[in-house]
Structure 1
Amino acid sequence: MSQHDSQGQKPAKKGPSAKTLARREARTLAMQALYSWHIAGQALNEIEAQFRVDNDFGAVDGAYFHEILHGVARQKTEIDGAFTPLLDRPLEEIDPVELAILRLSTYELKNRIDIPYRVVINEGIELAKVFGATDGHKFVNGVLDKLAPRLRADEVRAHKR
């Protein structure tokens, strides 16, 4: 069977779905909100309200933004405990942007098994490339690559087969 349409044209490659893009936007805003929470120590509800006022949430998965923001805050001690043993420096010395990304990605690895671990890692790397320090994405990648087998052992093993 040919991969051409009736006019002999190859179909256009499909990009990410609207749901994928809305979730990516939610992650981006959640990472920024988590950064703000870490730096300013402001109440989550105030930060969330401000983000909803300052950003167009028309193309954002608002429920996912809320889940990440409040889920990370609720599980902060457990989340930090999951990746801290994998760090090459004390938690206090981690760049705040990279810390927000690690917390967000760890939350997803722990709580959102519907999202493949490779997607979680890739989204974390992409956030670090855009918002992190020069080689921040390499640091984030290294930590998440070590963390995934600890939190998603079966999935990682199945993928490596």
Structure 2
Amino acid sequence: MARAIERSAARLAAVQALYQMDVTGKTLPDIFAEFETYWIGMEIEGDQYNPAELAFFRDILTGVLDDQGPLDRAIDATLIAGWPLARVDSVMRATLRGGAYELKKRKDIPARVVIKEYVDVAGAFFGPDESGMINAVLDGMARQYRAEEFVVQA
């Protein structure tokens, strides 16, 4: 159970870090240093952040950045027509990128777990409509990347 909590915290931190990189242009080494020193597992403005699995946090960030072009194109293809990723809120974009990376590259984690985790992350920032949109997009991507996990057994 502790590992699941640390992975959930790593996902939340990764989304926050991806958002920060998107809006500030900070580099990956700067983000690693800042989050690992001042955010993860710390109390900030009265909010206590859970300890996170640092290797998993780093894997998500590095993976998203290494594969960002193909991930963004896949997200664009799954979004509703007329709503390209560039028009999506920065936090939502970061959430979709993290989830897309895990669905595409982290086959060791079941697709349904990835989707639920990122819907939970979205719930920390948005209401049910936006969380539902995250769910729909990631579900569509999961069915593309991991169709075998969604085959109904007779």
Shared fold by TM > 0.5? yes
Distance 1:141 1:40 in 2: 27
Q: Which residue of 2 aligns with 1:107?
A: 101
Distance 1:93 1:123 in 2: 23
Q: Which residue of 2 aligns with 1:147?
A: 141
> CA RMSD for the aligned pairs?
1.4
User: 126, 129, 133: which one pairs with 2:120?
Assistant: 126
Cα drift, residue 134 of structure 1? 5.5
Q: Which has the larger radius of gyration?
A: 1
Identity value in percent: 38
Question: 2:4 is matched by which residue type in structure 1?
Answer: T
Deviation per residue, 1:105-151 (Å, 9 max, x gap): 00000111111000000011111111135621011011111111100
Distance 2:113 2:120 in 1: 10
1:34/1:100 contact within 8 Å kept: yes
1:35/1:100 contact within 8 Å kept: yes
Distance 1:56 1:24 in 2: 12
Q: How does 1:29-108 map to 2 (within 5 A)?
A: 29-57=13-41, 59-88=51-80, 89-108=83-102
Higher relative contact order (CA 8 A, sep 6+): 2
Which structure 1 residue ranges, 5 or more long, are not aligned? 1-16
TM-score between the two structures when normalised by the length of structure 2 = 0.88
Which structure 2 residue ranges, 5 or more long, are not aligned? 42-49
TM-score between the two structures when normalised by the length of structure 1 = 0.84
